[in-house]
Structure 1
Amino acid sequence: MDDLNKNQLIMLVLLVSFVTSVVTGIVTVSLVGESPAPFTQTIQRVIEQINPLSQNNQANNNQQANPLSAVNPSYDSGDESIVKLVKSVSSSVVSVVATKDMPIIEQYYINPFKDDPFWNMLPEGFLPDIQIPQYRQKGTEEKKVSSGTGFFISKDGLLLTNKHVVEDTSASYSIVTNDGRKLNAKVLARDPLQDLAVLKVEGDNFNPIPLGDSDKLNVGQTVIAIGNALGEFNNTVSKGIISGLNRTVSAASPSGVEELTNLIQTDAAINHGNSGGPLLDLSGRVIGINVAIAESAQNIGFALPINIAKRDISDAKEFGTIKYPYIGIKYKTAEKGVEITEVISNSPAFKAGLKTGDVIVQINGKDIKDKSGLANILSMLRVGDKIQVKVLRNGNYEMNFEIILEERPQNI
């Protein structure tokens, strides 16, 4: 210290002050940018776009609520039936929880000037001790990373949920029942095309919810939605009506955006975390699986019709997996049906004799009007089914083919 003259000391102090101000800025940015974020998220698909073509049957769902009676606050017979319905299915609806081994992040501090000779020339305590935060991994621990909803469809532990609730193949899954029991769950099958998945837990005395018929729904009928709202409020119940049928939307999920078709629209509140929960009719039967919400509007939620899940359920019970039927073509919408743009070699369509340029106009006597129409018919069929296909070849020459559906290859 004696070797420093007054001018050198002043310059050194100014230099240290400048460095201190820079480091302070670095510390601030570091604290904002590097602090670990919370991991848990509630799973719910959000609507990116509503297809205007699906709005032809839009129902006016503006309802005038009846004023509450100040004389008799007790619920009426309609409320009583809903209360009984909810009690009967409450043990069937569960939270689906995903957990992963996440890094434990430890914060510690260092003085970057500790070994600097100029810094050490100053007397102890002359300047404040500068400490910069650093982060390092200190092992891992299992943490909850997401949650959704599911419901029992068999006494021996089969459950139905959305595929996007369990799409992380590196995660472990469990369910939490309404009475607080936690059971490990295995993802038995993920539907390759629909937002559906089947889970399995060990046991043989569960309470499955009976399945309804989503082809017999009417706009305006009352429905009940149940789910794990916000990942915190188990078995949250909401009541509404069917606002529309056969909706088509583009919905976002962690894996991207995809088009969902033939959806049930409802004004029953569907919150984050409700994905995979049941939409029930007043007889207590599942008529839909809650799948998406429109965040830009109020009281607009969507559910997959239960009938599209019945083939998946049958496959899971019979084979322990989902076998998706496969015809083996690529196609685009044509004026009168769908035009084949490619016939895949050795596929069922190839074996039956279909050719590029053929226009499929009917399957099993049902008219095909667009791409989704063909996909919807195939989604109701099973591997091994025989279908009758009517095509137009060379513009107007009608031909009929019998095709035996095969299992969809894994690489498609």
Structure 2
Amino acid sequence: MGGYPPGRPPRRKKSCGRMLITAAGVVGALILAGGGAGFAVSELTDRIEAEQRQQQQHQSQGAPRGTEQRSLPYEDRDPEEWVQALTEVHEGVVVDWEAPPHRGRDLDRGQTVMEAPGVLLVDTQLSGAMGTGTGIVLSEDGLAVTNYHVVEDSSRVRVTVSDTGRKYTATVLGRDAENDIAVLQMEDAEGLETASLAAGDPTPGDAVAAVGNARGQGYLTSVRGEVLGLDRSIYAAPEGSEDYSRLTGLIQTDADVVPGYSGGPMVDADGQVVAVSVAASSGTTSSEVDGFGIPLDVALGVVQQVLSGEETDTVSIGADGALGIMIRPGEDGVVVVDVDEGSSADEIGLRPGDVIVAVDGHSVGTSASRLSRMVNDRNVGERITVKWITANGQVREEETVLQEAVVN
């Protein structure tokens, strides 16, 4: 079956996806709502994070493939040496640093960027929606990075080279959900301009600019700021969700980052990439919004891990495991909206209207996102035990074998 919710055609997302966070490593007084001052953050996912995840998600079926890993390109290269060679400095993103700085209460709408070697506009096909974000080209033959949340749950990824307008289909080679990095391979790409990567880390007070596809506008803008601090940690979850996730080691800036910059470069005064934009505090005024970036060395570490072909507790390569169901949050668990015929879920008797309450003895709460990740973090061919309450109130618990997902 396809990846669209019943009766819901694809549509362009709204600017949603805000998250509540506490930044314990930023300011000690910032704690979760209910215990003191709250702090809000947008996960910059140009999917309908708050809307779509609270409506329905899809984990599509596929033929079981065991636990073999996908064959990777670049097998003839030493991953460590290849990644180290990426830091050769060349022409970077051109930002107008001489323009008057943004002033006033309103968010900085940014300046149009005309020259951005190695920067991509990312478009994704999702269940019932379209998503947008930004990416960074690392090699002439199309290796690139973006945030995992930009491509998560997508059935198709298309990228556009910002400077030339050329479009490519991209495959997700691997991802690190904990660090929110995905490694992409652009199909049939050659002779691409690559992003210029900084050789060192920024320091507090350094000028930086975030560059990205703001709110899916279809062209690049930049918002300037300065580095406020390093090694920041945030706890985040979509609004209305208990599914908190932790991002660590981030660079904090006062740039007015908005949805759409996800996965794009944060550059220094020379236009060299120092970080990958990942999150921003939500707010309606410039003083309320700070942008967060994943340090470049962390992103490149994930690239090296994926190219090595070695999975870890956080790095996954190839297709995820899947039950083959469409789900949404419920009052007592996660509600099954649809079941793919012949899928793992179908084989154990899961039906629309059933409520999943646990996987392998661990509660899923009421979070569709949590259940999705509990399943997606497992390998194809792996056995899991699902506990659910049927539509007529019967409690059931069955073991099944995960099949290959056709979504990222």
- TM-score (structure 2 length as normaliser): 0.50
Q: Say which structure, 1 or 2, has more relative contact order (CA 8 Å, 6+ apart).
A: 2
- Please state which structure has a larger fraction of its residues in helix: 1
